[in-house]
Amino acid sequence: MKANLATLGFGALFGFVLGWARLHDPVTLHHMFRFAEPDVFLIMGSAIATAALATRLLRRTRARTWVGGEPVTWRTLAPSRNHVIGSVLFGLGWGLVCICPAPIAVLMGSGSLSGFTTGAGLMLGVALRDRLAPLASARPTSLPAAGAEIGL
């Protein structure tokens, strides 16, 4: 219950910041992509810098989670086909509806039809994820397995 309340609080704060910065407005994003509004890039840059600093501190101090008290663990993954497919789908979705998935809740809260349709598409993708996962992880037979040497 404590974790749910903390998550709700951080989510509400995050949604407020997205709404306040107008990051749910397709016009704002369009201006960002045309490099007409650098403030959106400054917001993203500050988020990346904050996350990088916090990650360094967490790794250095061998921290525990704030709510549950479990140790924070780290696992690094090599890029795979799943990452490429996910990145392409993310970019296509963002380009088609001009909405990043982050402000969907802000859009839905403001009664935006695009927010509801994007949210429905996101939920459909999550529902189909288990069915689509085997397709994304299947290797083409023409490529060598990871770690295999290629003879010249």
pLDDT digits (tens, 9 = 90+) for 74-112: 788 888 888 888 888 888 877 777 777 777 778 777 787
User: Do residues 105 and 55 both lie within one domain?
Assistant: no
pTM exceeds 0.75 for this model: no
H/E element holding 125? Answer: helix 113-137
Distance CA 66, CA 116 (A): 32
Same domain, 70 and 83: no
The pLDDT tens digits for 34-46 are 888 788 888 889 8
Same domain, 110 and 123: yes
The pLDDT assigned to 136 comes to 60
Q: How many domains does the chain contain in total?
A: 2
Domain hosting residue 126, numbered range: 78-139
Half-sphere exposure of 61 (CA within 13 A, CB side): 9
Do residues 51 and 13 both lie within one domain?
yes
Could you tell me if 3 and 71 lie in one domain? yes
